[in-house]
Amino acid sequence: MQASTSETFAENVLESVETSLSKAYTGSELNTLAKNLGLTPDVAVPVYFRLKSVTGNNMEPVYTNTVTVQITSYFIDMSIGYVLDSKQAETGAKLYSAASDGVYTGFMGATGWYNYYLREGDGTIWGNDGVDGSPFLISSEDTKWNMWFPQFGGCYFVNLNTTKKVWSALYIPELTVSGDLTGTLTFDRPNLKWTLVFNATQTGNITLQVSGSGKQYDYSTGTTDDAAKTTAVGFTQNGESLAFGQQSGNITVQVTSTGTNTLVIDLSNPQQWVAKVVGGSDTPTEVRQQIYLSGIDDLITGNWNFNNKLYLYDEDNQAYAGVAYASSEWGYNIFLEADNWDDKYTFASGDAYQGTMELKGQGGNLKAPATGLYFFDVSLKALTYKLVTLENKIYYSGVNDNWDLHDLNATATKGVFSGSVTIEKASEWGFQIILDAAWTYKYGGSNGKLSYKGSNITDDATLSPGTYTLTVDLINGTYALTK
């Protein structure tokens, strides 16, 4: 199908391949077509449609009659790029294009290897180029997959250019303050701000500078840390906002009260970054890296202990996962800290395998499942728990770029699986540990440590061809390849 503002289709033609016998547009789809044809919003303009057909690449095309449609389009705000997660669901994060020219910039608080897409105001979704496959190349074609950050979690300045079809990520591990106030800022990743708590002896304006050193990742470097370009970073004042670049300048903020105050560099709004001082301490709460299942194995150990752990895999949702062998008489609780028996999550609703919980609730212990090996998925934010029974085998996939499921069988040690792996070459994307035949639960990892939903294991790239024993310990979260 061809659409054009030229009745002769001599110029300004958009084409789309259609496979059905009719074509229907939603209002937003038709408006996007009008925008891409360059129509002026709120003005009725004739748009010409026709079909172009060929039965072979070396044949002259045949055209149908032309249909004329008067279209009055409406304005599409192309200044905002909406960050989507790996499943293309809304995250609430945004990037900004001041000139509405397809170049989106802003700060993102990303975890290591975080995956995302970007949706423009006209509905176009951008991801990594699925044909070339190289990091930091982008595409809006159906072959795209999610874009991904390097291994370091923290503050990134992102520049995504839909015209050049590339993006870059400037990692900022640390920012320091100098001038009337000195110190090192702390990054609050979920809230996308940097903070510094200080004691003010007097009120009034203070002048300071904020600077640091970052690592620039782009198409030329990929996600390789050694190739990342060291880049100076700093903020300057621009009216009531902050400007970001490689140079720092004077920033004036007002202190309105003596005593404990917090300097806040707020980067959450991509259209206006601000520096301000707020009274009191605004230090972010530390997110725990692990929680504990106590009571889950009391029929084996004879006591409640802190040996079984779940590990953080989603900071925003405070989600933890891990594997434990359950043999419990009285059920169990989920504890926040080893040897701290007060801060615990107890039963609220559900059964032994899925339900809700509450902090220091009155519902009693979480119910004991049948004796066996289980995968646990717990969200302290959503207050939910889920247990999945693990059978006598799990799988690995991706070795030698073979993505079939290969068995790893249970050993005599609870939670430990093992199997023979023949490595012929380094796999391009690494390999994964899969817990079920439906591919629902996946582990990655590095340096012998497993990570739920983590990046693929790439140890095979450093090993010589041969036959190895792959041993996976799900309870302790480790793996090993032994020749």
pLDDT by position in tens, the chain (length 483): 999 999 999 999 999 988 888 999 988 889 989 988 999 999 999 999 999 998 888 899 999 999 999 999 998 899 999 999 888 988 889 999 999 999 999 999 998 888 999 999 989 999 999 999 999 999 999 999 999 999 898 999 999 999 999 999 999 999 999 999 999 999 998 889 999 999 999 999 999 999 999 999 999 999 999 999 999 999 999 999 999 999 999 999 999 999 999 999 999 999 999 999 999 886 666 678 999 999 999 999 999 999 999 999 998 889 999 999 999 999 999 999 887 888 899 999 999 999 999 998 888 999 999 999 999 999 999 999 999 999 999 999 999 999 999 999 999 999 999 999 999 999 989 999 999 999 999 999 999 999 999 999 999 988 999 999 999 999 999 999 999
**Tokens 């990054």 -> residue:** 187
Tokens of 79: 């200044």
pTM: 0.61
Beta strand 175-179 with 183-184 is antiparallel
How many C-beta neighbours within 10 Å does residue 418 have? 17
**CATH domain 290-389 topology:** Immunoglobulin-like (2.60.40)
Task: List all residues 6 or more positions away from 61 whose beta carbon is below 8 Å from its beta carbon.
Answer: 52, 53, 54
Q: Between the CA of residue 384 and those of 271, 274, 283, 380, what are the distances in Å?
A: 36, 36, 27, 7
CATH number for 393-482: choose from 3.50.50.100, 3.40.640.10, 3.30.479.30, 2.60.40.3610. Answer: 2.60.40.3610
Q: Between the CA of residue 354 and those of 64, 475, 478, what are the distances in Å?
A: 59, 20, 26
**Tokens 């190895």 -> residue:** 468
Q: What is the pLDDT of residue 85?
A: 87
Distance between CA 211 and CA 5 in Å, rounded?
A: 51
Q: CA 433 from chain center: how many Å?
A: 20
Contact present, 369 and 388 (Cβ < 8 Å):
no
Tokens of 52: 């172009």
User: By C-alpha distance, which of 293, 276, 270, 281 is closest to 344?
Assistant: 293
For the chain, domain boundaries? 2-72, 77-284, 290-389, 393-482
- Cβ-based burial of 290 (10 A; exposed 0-12, middle 13-18, buried ≥19): middle
User: By C-alpha distance, which of 166, 150, 167, 147 is closest to 158?
Assistant: 167
Q: What is the pLDDT of residue 343?
A: 85
Q: What is the pLDDT of residue 285?
A: 64
Contact present, 446 and 457 (Cβ < 8 Å):
yes
Q: How many residues does the chain have?
A: 483
User: By C-alpha distance, which of 268, 112, 243, 264 is closest to 192?
Assistant: 268
Phi, psi of 244 (to 5 degrees): -115, 140
Cross-strand partners of 259: 200
- Cβ-based burial of 42 (10 A; exposed 0-12, middle 13-18, buried ≥19): exposed
Q: What is the pLDDT of residue 89?
A: 84
Q: Between the CA of residue 68 and those of 15, 31, 350, what are the distances in Å?
A: 16, 16, 60
Name the DSSP class of 316. Answer: T
Domains 290-389 and 393-482 share a fold: yes
